[in-house]
Amino acid sequence: MTLTVETRHAVHEDHAKGMDTAELRKHFLAGGMFAEGEIRLTYTHYDRFTVGGAVPNGGSLTLGKVDETRTETFLERREMGIVNIGDTGTVEAAGETYEMNKGDVLYLGMGSGAVTFKGQGRFYITSCPAHHTYPSRLITVADCKEVKMGETATSNKRTIKMFVHPLVMESCQLVMGYTSLEEGSVWNTMPAHVHDRRMEAYLYWGMAPESRVLHLMGEPTETRHLFVANEEAVISPTWSIHAGAGIGEYTFIWAMAGDNVDYTDMDFVQPAELR
């Protein structure tokens, strides 16, 4: 098995103002995470949040020790949220086996030990430090909390599915779910917002190979952008807005960690205020 870990250090907003396109992508875009027969992680210094992909390709992959944490197992002092964005597969941890269909989410509590991925799943991994062990839980699409938002008139009619969320279950820091755009809508979040209490990561998926999402980032009065392809993630610092518009159908998985688990804790920035 191949395990690859890339480290991303935190970037100050003043530094980001002077970045060109290549440097913005180097620091804030995580691509190439889904490789057959591999686990690839991006370990960030934003609340020590980690994103990654595991593609067992019909075989078996085990995530155990990760040198960057200097712990016996990766989850010794961490919790994890996993989304299956592929065909049916299984995840094994702490003596339990969980069958995951496409769109299902698995929460693993702190101390779950090594995690083994099997089958034809395409597993998106998120993880952050934890202070307490909450029970592991498989949350199927039928079990999530679903919220409809937006309007056709403003091109942001969307369905938000909440999985690792206070309305569904308890966790330490991790909050996770995903948002799908209705046909004819392109804006995933507008008005844009920031939340200084939490960082966030976005994984865009379900897109055609030729499609792209124009992801908006940066300070509200110093916005920047990234063109994002299918199965690429954006690492969003606390000082950055996060919004975007896409070509064709897409879904984005949002995952956050920080001082609280209040999904509504955000400071909106109206379009007229953006620069």
Arithmetic mean of pLDDT, 33-53: 98
Can you give the pLDDT at residue 118? 98
Arithmetic mean of pLDDT, 146-163: 94
Q: Is the model's pTM score more than 0.75?
A: yes
Can you give the pLDDT at residue 128? 98
Q: What number of residues does the chain have?
A: 275
Arithmetic mean of pLDDT, 206-232: 97
Arithmetic mean of pLDDT, 226-254: 96
Can you give the pLDDT at residue 247? 93
Q: Which of 141-145, 158-162, 193-197 has the least mean pLDDT?
A: 193-197
Q: Is position 195 annotated in a ligand binding site?
A: yes
**Per-domain boundaries in the chain:** 2-273
Dihedrals φ, ψ of 161, to 5°?
-110, 120
**Per-residue pLDDT at 1 exceeds 80:** no
Is the domain spanning 2-273 CATH 3.30.300.10? The answer is no
DSSP the chain: -EEEEEEE----HHHHHT--HHHHHHHHEE-----BTEEEEEEESSTT-EEEEEE-TTSEEEE---GGGTSSSTTTTEEEEEEE-SS-EEEEETTEEEEE-TT-EEEE-TT---EEEEET--EEEEEEE-SS-PPPEEE-GGGSEEEEE--GGGT--EEEEEEESTTT---SS-EEEEEEEPTT--BSSSSEEE-TTEEEEEEEES--TT--EEEEEEETTEEEEEEE-TTEEEEE-TTS--EEEESSS-EEEEEEEES---TT--EEE-GGG--
The per-residue pLDDT of the chain, averaged, comes to 96
Show the tokens assigned to 201. 């990561």
Q: Is position 242 annotated in a ligand binding site?
A: yes
